Amino acid sequence: MELLWPTRNPYVTQHYGAKSPRYATYHKGVDLRVINDPKRDIICALEGEVILVSDTTRNSWYTNGQTNEYYGKGSPFGQHVKVKCTIEEETYFMLYAHLEEIKVKEGDVIKAGEIIGKGGETGNSSGAHLHFELRQEEDTSQKAINPFPYFVSAFKSAIPEWGKNAWAWGMENGIFTDESYFDDTLTKGEMAVLMHRLYTLMKSQ
């Protein structure tokens, strides 16, 4: 399975599984900054059917639980969309949360790369970002899996051949795996650059 990045300029602010004082358990999705794109476009990562469009919002977490006219009441995901996909007889559900604007409706079949809406900070959010979850078999956070490895192929196509070789070398030598978590400021592309430099250094010795 290959997923497109759901934002145009991917910048991860919270990884799947990353510990945070805000969560009693692992973070079930990946948070992506949306202010990198002036249009704040949220992109469909994989073709599927829109099964839920929720335009409800609620108080933001930093208001200490107090609802107000701006946020209203509703889901902690704020305005969000769910898309159901089938890949090789496996069923997946994608959640796009904290949207500012929604451009699809329930029942729509949307292709990978089409615009779902605009990112925002509705619901329990401390800033404009997209919370993206990939759920397997059942539409519940308990069935959420790490989507990050599935973004790799889409990302690798944007880096030079030596970067791909460096990434493969790092994988083969057990320096990291697709299950690895990275610091918020370090992308896989940057990791590939570091691996290339290390690889070059080792070859010279």
Q: What is the pLDDT of residues 133-171, one digit of tens each?
A: 999 999 988 899 988 878 854 444 445 566 667 767 777
pTM tops 0.75, yes or no:
no
Residue of 121, 147, 149 lying closest to 136 (CA atoms): 147
pLDDT at residue number 63: 44
CA atoms within 13 A on the CB side of 106: 6
Range(s) of the chain covered by CATH 2.70.70.10: 12-148
pLDDT at residue number 183: 43
Residue 106: C-alpha distances to residues 30, 46, 84, 152 (Å): 24, 16, 11, 29
> In sequence order, what are the residues at sequence separation of 6 or more whose Cβ sits closer than 8 angstroms to the Cβ of residue 117?
42, 79, 81, 96, 99, 100, 101, 102, 103, 104
Most confident of 109-113, 122-126, 161-165, 184-188: 109-113
pLDDT at residue number 170: 72
pLDDT band at 96 (very low <50, low <70, confident <90, very high): very high
Residue of 2, 106, 111, 121 lying closest to 54 (CA atoms): 106
**Total residues found in the chain within this entry:** 205
Architecture of the CATH domain 12-148: Distorted Sandwich (2.70)
Dihedral sign, CA of 14, 3, 79, 56?
negative
